[in-house]
Structure 1
Amino acid sequence: MTRGHLQIVVCAAGPAADVTQLITTASQQSWTTAITATPSAHDFIDTAALERLTGHPVRSTYRSSPGTRRALPAANALIIAPVTYNSLNKIALGIADNYAMTTIAELIDRQVPTVVVPFVNAALAARAPFQRALASLRSERVRVFLGTDDGWEPHPPGSGNDRQRAFPWTAALEAATRWPARHRPVAPIAADSKRA
């Protein structure tokens, strides 16, 4: 018996290559998983390996081929990791310019427990737009895993490769799965439906 379905969205940052750590840990805890990737994230991941590991296609478009309908499994939790400076700002503003961003916008609106783990350098994190985006997402009850209390801070510019190995995959899963029990899975999102 599974504990539920974890939807994972990866963005184009170094730790995306290590998302298998999250999938493996979630599977060991009886969660099913599926990956959605931003268009640029495909350069960071091994799509075929992730599909074998999850048993689901890695999605980044609204439909895989004309006339094909494929729904994502009902989501009990959503982890967006690693999230880039650009993607975090788009999520906060509700910009849904690709399949991943549309999926995120809809699942947040449906109040699916959501954890976001930024992977940004300190110079970008100090920018006012980023700070506003953090506050905006937190006001919508999105758990942004960043700060002293979380033990995950922005890294100094130019040190991303070294910081990648410490990415908090397990802590993100714990945060997503400790969400209040009143949240129930939502109906699947049709993969070929694009919100207006």
Structure 2
Amino acid sequence: MTTPSRALYLFGSAAPPVFDIVKVIEDAQSRGFDVCLGLTPTAARWLEPQLGELARLTGHPVRSEYKMPGEPDVWPKADVIAFAPVTFNTINSWALGLTHDFVVGVVAEGIGRHIPVIAMPCVNSAYVQHRQFERSIAELRAMGVQLLYGEGGFVPNQPGQGRPKEFPWRLVLDAAVAATRT
């Protein structure tokens, strides 16, 4: 008897590490996850040429918009949600409860549904100087979101000096595995 896969909702915002999402999906699948990919509208636009390939790879439609009322859910129920990279705008929208984007709505609701949520921002050091960013990080942590930010997670770089190939995706997936063990 085989154990069914755990459903991982893998969400991404429009930051350069999102271009490595194929490798992340493959890594998550090798760890036993059934991956459902959700993107902010801008990230979906960035990855538009790959959306068909990404749907084939995951076996699920890639979502970036809310479904119409009455339409059935096309994804299995989430066991864990991993949101990375998460931009400055998305972190602040999420913390403030502004759910204009599908993925922000799902993670906001996921908190109330007690679904483990792991997030890793991808912002530069200029953005983190804005006072709202630290408030948003604190607010999300207070709601139970596991934010991989700072020591042991993503550390902001200087503007224009990003290293998207060094984005610590492994930490996100390690946290998702750990969250589904409990």
TM-score w.r.t. structure 2 length? 0.91
1:3-41: CA deviation from partner (whole Å, max 9, x where unpaired): 411001111111111111221111111110011111111
Is 1:177 aligned to 2:180, yes or no? Answer: no
Letter in 1 for 2:167: F
1:146 Cα offset (Å)? 1.0
Pairing 1:8-47 to 2, within 5 Å after superposition: 8-45=10-47, 46-47=50-51
Cα distance in 2, alignment partners of residues 78 and 121 from structure 1 = 24
Unaligned runs of 5+ in 2: none
Is 1:166 aligned to 2:144, yes or no? Answer: no
Is 1:96 aligned to 2:96, yes or no? Answer: no
Alignment partner, residue 139 of structure 1: 142
Cα distance in 1, alignment partners of residues 104 and 72 from structure 2 = 19
1:120 Cα offset (Å)? 0.4
Contact conserved, 1:21 with 1:169, CA < 8 A, in 2?
Answer: no
Aligned length: 178
Cα distance in 2, alignment partners of residues 95 and 86 from structure 1 = 10
More helix by share: 2
Q: Greater relative contact order (Cα 8 A, min sep 6): structure 1 or 2? A: 1
Cα distance in 2, alignment partners of residues 109 and 3 from structure 1 = 23
1:100-151: CA deviation from partner (whole Å, max 9, x where unpaired): 221111112111111111110001012210000010011111111111233x
Contact conserved, 2:29 with 2:35, CA < 8 A, in 1?
Answer: yes
TM-score w.r.t. structure 1 length? 0.85
Identity %: 34
Contact conserved, 2:61 with 2:74, CA < 8 A, in 1?
Answer: no
